[in-house]
Amino acid sequence: MRIPHLVLVLPLLAVVGATQGSERPEIQEQPRLPGIEAEDYAWDHQADEIRALLEQEVDYEQGRYAYVYCQGCHRQDGSGRPDGTYPQLAGQHASVLIKQMLDIRRGSRENPTMYPFADEHILYYDDLPHIAAYLESLPIPPDNGRGPGEDLARGERLYQQDCKRCHGANGEGDAERFKPVLAGQHYGYLVRQTVEIRDLERRNANPDMVKVLRGYTDGEVRAVSDYISRLVMPERTGSHR
């Protein structure tokens, strides 16, 4: 099995932000590609590239090995952080994971925390389908961070009205159309991303979602996020391959 750059680079990254008064390794600034603010923005412009990567034969062990270096933020089981600082990745569609990693490394989605780990000098391009397939195979943990449960009726109404047609009745998403699994995602993360999409702060946002969310109040964002945080996807609760 090939040993990725991560073995050499991560010890250096671990030093960044952990020392004071000493010389720190320089981390390349994240590039910036045109995003939703551009007139010719195409949300799924790399669809053919992603599908080509997904056609490769995957090695789950190679994916598991590469994921070791993501566990500090996303945890060993891919569950992220219940407070929503880091998303739940386990059980997510491989197509969605690859798209987001490509968007981050190329700069159409700004994420300075994630970028050093997604950068092409750290994560091999050819490893993207392996790590994505491994994460997709992990069971969705049942103990995600959920909302307060104070306005679930409104949240359900909004979900059925605006979200179900793309993300499915149980938050299962759509791998072919790069619609993410929402079941098991943390409430805090859902709120933050929904607000950023609504306010055009997430530059790789799906324009269809922006249209849906542009009229949402903060209260409606919290309500629908609370409802989504309680969705369950039984077919993704088994053990990984």
Asked if 132 contacts 94 with a C-beta cutoff of 8 angstroms, the reply is: yes
| pLDDT tens across the length of the chain (241 residues) | 554 444 444 443 443 333 333 344 455 789 999 999 999 999 999 999 999 999 999 999 999 999 988 999 999 999 999 999 999 999 999 999 999 999 999 999 999 999 999 888 778 999 999 999 999 999 999 999 999 999 999 999 999 999 999 999 999 999 999 999 999 999 999 999 999 999 999 999 999 999 999 999 999 999 999 999 999 987 665 444 3
Q: Is 63 exposed, middle or buried (0-12, 13-18, 19+ CB in 10 A)?
A: buried
The position carrying tokens 């993207």 is 128
The position carrying tokens 């923005």 is 41
- Largest Cα–Cα distance in the chain? 54
What pLDDT is recorded for position 130?
98
Domains of the chain by range and CATH?
45-141 (1.10.760.10), 152-233 (1.10.760.10)
